[in-house]
């Protein structure tokens, strides 16, 4: 029952956001826009902006249920719902607080929907005015803040894509007709009109080139100067974003094939340009972790080779120490474990004093018949310490041997061999 009650406010919020936001995104349907919406959702999710991410993933599925990002979006929605449930459980959100969150989402949706309606009304009005007075098309377009600004046009297409594009197509057809009618008699008009055509095609570089030629013919056209300035600023921003995307994409490619040096260089250049890029920061950490893993593996391999060489030359203590260091770096390394097990078996046969358990103290301990504690979870570390102690014992270094046997017994009080060895070495040291 508790789970059902905890889920209700989340379900309500999901319903409000997914249904209401569909109005604001009614025209968003191209693969590029789907990708952008999905990436925005992922970015918001990683920044723990769960309501915003829920909004974006829900609308992505509403606009195209068969989108290529469908499975990932549904998985994220499931995770977000769980996250919100956990947050609600911790914060014990009151019904009033939940209502405030829902109301906030509604207002946000309302503002976006209102903006979409305003944009659509302006584009429709301009298109109709152009149709009535085609000869005045440049004056009409120049006076429109929306249709002379690439960023505004992009925002309009994002909010009301299909409808906006239909009106833009009508305007472009009128522009082309006026260009044909004017021929080469009015070069300023020709270049300015072509600039608008390129603008609506999304090609800012060519739009800027045409408007610059038009401005050379009339250097005192302040309106055109303003349009040109905005276009240049937008183009610089576009190039900046393209460079960021290129660096991010190539860095990811290098990371996926394990070329961490090139990936690291790319992500560092990206973050020099855009220090707050979330995706770049994430992949920089992953790349550094990958490089650390390579260095770690190289060190492990070197230690293993060193131990193998020392075993061949009879340097048992050095070999054991190298193998223990390997297990500190990689506790599950089978090769190191196998070598140490072989060494323990070999030296157990050669150390009757330590293994026999015949010392007086050991016998007294056994007569007490106290049950040994259960095997400790850090038994592997205890065995490693015991093996090092054995090596010191074989070399006659009783002080170091006792130190390592004590360490082994402390790590695992149930390690009977270590307990016996510790007691035997202590008795031998007293002689």
Distances (CA, A) of 317 to 28, 339, 355, 403: 70, 13, 19, 15
- What is the tens place of the pLDDT at every residue in 330-381? 888 888 888 877 777 766 655 544 444 444 444 444 444 344 445 555 677 7
pLDDT value for 237 = 87
206 and 120 within one domain:
yes
Structure tokens at 63: 């606009």
Tell me whether residue 268 is in a domain.
no
78 and 126 within one domain:
no
67 and 135 within one domain:
no
Tell me whether residue 269 is in a domain.
no
pLDDT value for 68 = 82
Low-confidence ranges of the chain (pLDDT < 70): 1-34, 62-63, 88, 90-93, 155-162, 183-184, 346-378, 394-395, 428, 431
Q: How far apart are the first and last CA of the chain?
A: 73
Distance of CA 321 to the CA centre of its chain: 39
Tell me whether residue 19 is in a domain.
yes
Residue finishing a domain among 179, 197, 219: 219
355 and 399 within one domain:
yes
Burial class (CB in 10 A: 0-12, 13-18, 19+), 412: buried
Residue written as token pair 């078996």: 345
Burial class (CB in 10 A: 0-12, 13-18, 19+), 217: middle
Tell me whether residue 285 is in a domain.
no
198 and 151 within one domain:
yes
191 and 126 within one domain:
yes
**Could you list the residue range(s) of the whole structural domain that residue 398 is in?**
347-430
What's the total number of domains in the chain? Answer: 3
CATH of the domain at 426: 1.25.40
Q: Please, how many CA atoms are within 13 Å of residue 16, restricted to the half-sphere of its CB?
A: 21
Tell me whether residue 203 is in a domain.
yes
126 and 210 within one domain:
yes
Residue finishing a domain among 194, 219, 244: 219
Tell me whether residue 309 is in a domain.
no
136 and 212 within one domain:
yes
130 and 38 within one domain:
no
Tell me whether residue 74 is in a domain.
yes
214 and 120 within one domain:
yes
Structure tokens at 126: 């301009």
Residue finishing a domain among 203, 219, 235: 219
Distance of CA 283 to the CA centre of its chain: 6
144 — alpha (psi -120 to 50), left (phi > 0) or beta? Answer: beta
56 and 145 within one domain:
no
Tell me whether residue 319 is in a domain.
no
pTM of the model: 0.50
138 and 182 within one domain:
yes
């Amino acid at each position: 029952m508790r789970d059902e009650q905890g889920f209700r406010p989340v379900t309500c919020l999901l319903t409000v956001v997914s249904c209401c936001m569909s109005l604001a995104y009614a025209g968003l349907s191209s693969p590029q826009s789907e990708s952008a919406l999905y990436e925005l959702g992922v970015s918001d999710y990683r920044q723990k902006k769960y309501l915003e991410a829920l909004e974006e993933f829900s609308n992505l599925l509403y606009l195209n249920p068969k989108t290529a990002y469908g499975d990932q979006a549904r998985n994220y929605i499931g995770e977000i719902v769980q996250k919100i449930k956990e947050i609600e459980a911790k914060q014990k959100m009151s019904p009033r607080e939940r209502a405030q969150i829902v109301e906030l989402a509604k207002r946000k949706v309302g503002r976006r929907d209102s903006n979409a309606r305003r944009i659509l009304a302006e584009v429709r009005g301009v298109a109709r005015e152009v149709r009535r007075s085609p000869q005045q098309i440049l004056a009409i377009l120049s006076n429109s803040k929306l249709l002379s600004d690439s960023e505004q046009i992009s925002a309009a297409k994002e909010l009301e894509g299909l409808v906006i594009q239909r009106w833009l197509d009508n305007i472009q057809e009128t522009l082309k007709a006026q260009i044909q009618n004017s021929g080469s008699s009015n070069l300023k008009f020709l270049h300015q009109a072509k600039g608008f055509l390129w603008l609506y095609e999304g090609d800012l570089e060519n739009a800027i080139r045409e408007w610059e030629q038009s401005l050379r013919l009339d250097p005192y056209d302040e309106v055109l100067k303003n349009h040109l300035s905005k276009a240049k600023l937008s183009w610089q921003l576009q190039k900046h974003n393209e460079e960021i995307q290129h660096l991010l994409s190539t860095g990811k490619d290098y990371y996926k094939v394990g070329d961490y040096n090139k990936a690291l260089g790319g992500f560092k250049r990206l973050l020099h340009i855009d220090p707050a890029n979330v995706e770049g920061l994430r992949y920089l950490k992953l790349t550094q972790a990958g490089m650390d893993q390579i260095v770690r593996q190289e060190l492990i391999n070197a230690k293993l080779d060193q131990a193998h060489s020392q075993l061949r030359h009879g340097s048992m203590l050095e070999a054991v120490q190298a193998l223990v260091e390997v297990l500190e770096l990689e506790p599950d390394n089978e090769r190191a474990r196998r070598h140490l097990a072989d060494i323990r078996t070999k030296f157990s046969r050669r150390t009757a004093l330590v293994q026999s358990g015949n010392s007086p103290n050991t016998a007294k301990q056994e007569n007490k018949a106290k049950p040994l504690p259960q095997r400790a979870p850090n038994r592997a570390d205890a065995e490693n310490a015991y093996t090092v102690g054995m090596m010191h014992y074989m070399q006659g270094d009783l002080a170091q041997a006792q130190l390592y046997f004590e360490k082994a017994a402390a790590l695992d009080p149930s390690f009977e061999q270590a307990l016996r060895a510790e007691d035997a070495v202590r008795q031998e040291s007293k002689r």
